[in-house]
Amino acid sequence: MPVKKTTSTLAVAALMASVAMPALADKASGTLNVAFTKELENVDSYFNSAREGVVLQRAIWDGLIYRDPETNEYVGNLATSWEWIDDTTLEFKLREGVTFHNGEAFNADDVVYTVDYVAKEENGVKTQRNVNWMKSAEKIDDYTVRIHLKEKFPAAIEFLSGPVSIYPNEYYAEVGPSGMGLKPVGTGPYKVTEVVPGQHFVLEANETYYDSPKGQPEIAKVDIRTIPDVNTQMAELFSGSLDLIWQVPADQANKLAQMDQFTVANESTMRVGYLQMDAAGRSGENPFTNKLVREAVNYAINRQELVDALLQGKSKVVYTPCFPSQFGCVQDVTEYEYDPEKAKALLAEAGYPDGFTIDFYAYRDRQYAEAITSYLNAVGIKTNFNMLQYSALRELNMKGEVPLAFQTWGSYSINDASAMVSQFFKHGSLDTTRDDQVLEWLDVADSSTNPDERIEYYTKALQRIADEAFWAPMFTYNTNYVFTTEVAYTPTPDEVLRFVDMSWN
Amino acid sequence: MTDIADPLSAEIQGPSPRQMLKSRALSHKGLIFGLSVVLLLVVVALFAPLLAPHDPYAQSLMNRMVPPVFMGGTWEHPLGTDHLGRDYLSRLLYGARVSLMIGAIAALISGVIGTAMGVAAGYFGGKVDAVVTFLINVRLAMPVVLVALAVVAILGGSLTVVICVLGLLLWDRFAVVMRASTLQISRRDYVAAAQVIGASTPRILLTEIMPNVFNNLIVIVTLEMAHAILLEAALSFLGLGVQPPTPSWGLMVSEGKNMMLFEPWLVLIPGAVLFVLVLAINLMGDGLRDVTAPEGRS
């Protein structure tokens, strides 16, 4: 198709000419320009649930523990060592000589204050699952601290290396989450010099960063702008006013990969895309309370085709409500091969020979959502398509008013099945299933300190979820990172953009 | 006798008003073009199921974004396929239904509302006029797009909602124009004569006023139809109008937008047909005005 190629190249050339501006950012100026698609509700990492928030969290703050994204090994970060005193008590020796960006010295008081603050439910941390396993913290001396757990929680180390970062006690007590969101202060490799909500964040390298396993920052300045439209992002990439964009859809990434001046890197992420069905009947009488209908939905979707044609890259088909690399995410469950005839037969058996019409919700990846509804329509499940903002859909979901939705969950990059399956199947406000048997098994799996027992009970729970077709898990996501050849970066499979690992070529 | 009769009979045998109208219409290029395009699209919309080469809803993910035939594609999909591998030509044909239906019904609803209000205001005057004028001002003070967006966002987008919202929003121009022309006509002698011989008010409105304001009405209908079609496209583009998988030209532009840099035809094709339809409707309205009321032509 030579004609096609010429025209698209022409279009791109014309575009590049029309937006040509003096390059604002490059190696020479030392500023890396990055685009975020989504706007953050609050930079304070405990008060947003966005992927962009995780990226900033890892740059600005540090946790007690660090998990090496390559080897998955846990090493001390703000803590130098830790040990289990008993099943529900962890003791940490803290690193000495660390200071926060505002000059406040880091010690046990900061850990105690942060843990006590976030563990308290009424303080309203956005994702309770990240923190609600901790009861309190206790200072032993200035550089020794104990964290008390509510009950046995074997994934504690994983959570402490992920979403639990340590805040400066004096500063946080004074400004609270909203002040922290506008002027974040942490110990991390990058300090924030400017926050203009909805516009941009400016990060500067922390010159006095301690000898952390994260490594020293090499890029002096990072300017992150919020640009919702992918086309605008690409136009700015062409014109040189952006150096790095990520979460680039596969189609565009394929085209960009054909050009010489960009590096396109694809990595898998822990994000799993799934269909959530109201099996518990919270939204009133609906077809999904019938197991046959839920099975029909599972058979109606051609997962392989979605992965091959739409998601591409390192995406994979999944049948479990968790990411395969997560601890406990056993893949030995019932798999539903694409079989529209069987789906129709099951619907007829369930009493819907002509199908039915149902409200369908989605909040991201409209294209995938449309493709999924097409599969459903093809077997007779007519959908009223509703595209909502994430927060709006989450709220509807908590009220139990969503019969069918295309959802995704990134597990906060926590490499443990509890971060996903236990988030959604333990009768919380987002649980659309409310199955007592699953709850019972997950309780055992989540709190056991014996790895074999954990695996055994996750297997039971995951197999029941698949057998009962409570969800229709479909695929794992991948992310395309596109950056100019001046930037050196190797993305990690956990969907976290690490500025500290980037450098100029 | 023939001497006297000649000029008279010549006058009688000359072209009748109807014939003059016809000849004016046939020589009006804009009208001919507009009318033929609109008629063509109406036919296409009515017979879409027969004309469409494929099912517009049939998804084939392995055949995504096949280019149209003039850009290196094949005749299997003359206008290519969209981001889900659905035949673009078929979606375009079915999309014509949505656009024309929304345009026609919205113009009909707003036409009925606006004409009733305008004629009443112009004919009765006084308090009725004051109320109608007030309502028109209130309506004019609200930006159509904003109100439509808000209402659709609250009620949820669907074909019915979009038609109703547009129908209930676009009556202002009907009311303004109908009020002015009724005011003009109701001062005429033949209206006074009808009143004097005791004709009832409905009779006067229907047989004396309406036929004489009809020319203006037709022009407004075409204007508002084009307006409604564009608004529907705008709402669908913003994701608030017709919901997928229903094909709508605005939605097609929106869906193609992400690939605009590399596959510009995804946006160009629905954009172009939308442009041609709106242009044709406007030309048709302009032509109708020129032909029916040549004296009003500036």
Q: What is this structure's pTM?
A: 0.78
Residue A309 contacts B, CB cutoff 8 Å? yes
Amino acid type, A400: G
The per-residue b/e assignment along A300-331, b for 16 or more CB within 10 angstroms, e otherwise, is: bbbbebbbebbbbbbbbbbbbbbbbebbbbbe
Q: DSSP character for A99?
A: B
Does the pLDDT value for residue B1 go beyond 50? no
Q: What is the pLDDT of residue B10?
A: 53
Query: Confidence class of residue A260 from pLDDT cuts 50, 70 and 90?
Result: confident
pLDDT above 90 covers a percentage of chain B that reads: 30
pLDDT of residue A323 exceeding 70: yes
Amino acid B12: pLDDT: 61
To the nearest 10°, the Cα dihedral for A50, A56, A58, A60? -140
| Cβ contact, residue pair A309, B244, below 8 Å | no
Residues whose CB is less than 8 angstroms from the CB of residue B273 and which lie 6 or more positions away in sequence, other chains included? B92, B95, B96, B249
In A5-112, the DSSP E strands lie at: 31-36, 65-67, 74-76, 79-86, 89-94
Q: Which residue of A has its CA nearest to B74?
A: A1
Average pLDDT score over residue span A197-205: 90
- Mean pLDDT throughout A194-222? 92
Residue A182 confidence (pLDDT): 92
Cα dihedral A286/A288/A290/A292 (nearest 10):
140
* Chain A partners within 8 Å of B64 (Cβ): 309
Of A336-350, B8-22, B37-51, B70-84, give the range with the top mean pLDDT.
Answer: A336-350
Question: What contacts A227, CB < 8 A, 6 or more positions away?
Answer: A35, A36, A37, A233, A236, A242
Euclidean distance between CA atoms A244 and B6, whole angstroms: 89
What's residue B9's pLDDT? 55
B295 pLDDT exceeds 80?
no
* All structural domains of chain A with their residue ranges: 38-224
Residue A49 pLDDT > 70: yes
Q: Residue A384: which of B57, B239, B243 has the nearest Cβ?
A: B243
**Average pLDDT value for chain A:** 89
Q: What is the pLDDT of residue A331?
A: 94
Given this model, what pLDDT does residue A223 score?
A: 94
CATH class of B88-292: mainly alpha
Whether residue A241 is predicted with pLDDT greater than 80 in this model: the reply is: yes
Whether B13 has a pLDDT exceeding 70, the answer reads no
Domain residue spans of chain B: 88-292
| Predicted pLDDT of residue A172 | 94
Query: Are A322 and A421 in contact, with CB atoms under 8 Å apart?
Result: yes
Q: Are A435 and A468 in contact (CB under 8 A)?
A: yes
pLDDT of amino acid A6: 46
Average pLDDT of the segment spanning B250-266 = 87
CA dihedral B164, B170, B174, B176 (to 10 degrees): 140
Check: CATH 2.140.10.10 for A38-224?
Answer: no
- Whether the pLDDT of residue A25 is over 70: the answer is no
**Under a CB-based contact definition with an 8 Å cutoff, are residues A447 and A343 in contact?**
no
pLDDT at B59: 86
Average pLDDT over residues A13-42: 68
Regarding beta strands A356-362 and A404-409, do their DSSP bridges make them parallel or antiparallel, or are they unpaired? parallel
Q: Residue B293 above 80 pLDDT?
A: no
Write the single-letter amino acid at B258. N
Average pLDDT, chain B: 86
Contact A371 B57 (CB under 8 A): no
- B71 Cβ under 8 Å from any chain A Cβ: yes
Q: Do A256 and A481 touch, CB atoms closer than 8 A?
A: no
Please say if the pLDDT value at position A22 is more than 60: no
Of A233-237, B173-177, B256-260, which range is least confident? B256-260
Q: Give CA–CA dist A60/A149, Å, rounded.
A: 26
Within an 8 Å CB–CB cutoff, is residue B215 touching chain A?
no
Residue of B238, B262, B268, B269 to mutate when probing chain A, most A C-beta within 10 A: B262
Q: What is the pLDDT of residue A1?
A: 36
Radius of gyration of chain B (CA): 24
Q: Other C-beta atoms within 10 Å of A66: how many?
A: 21
The pLDDT of B108-131, averaged and rounded, is 92
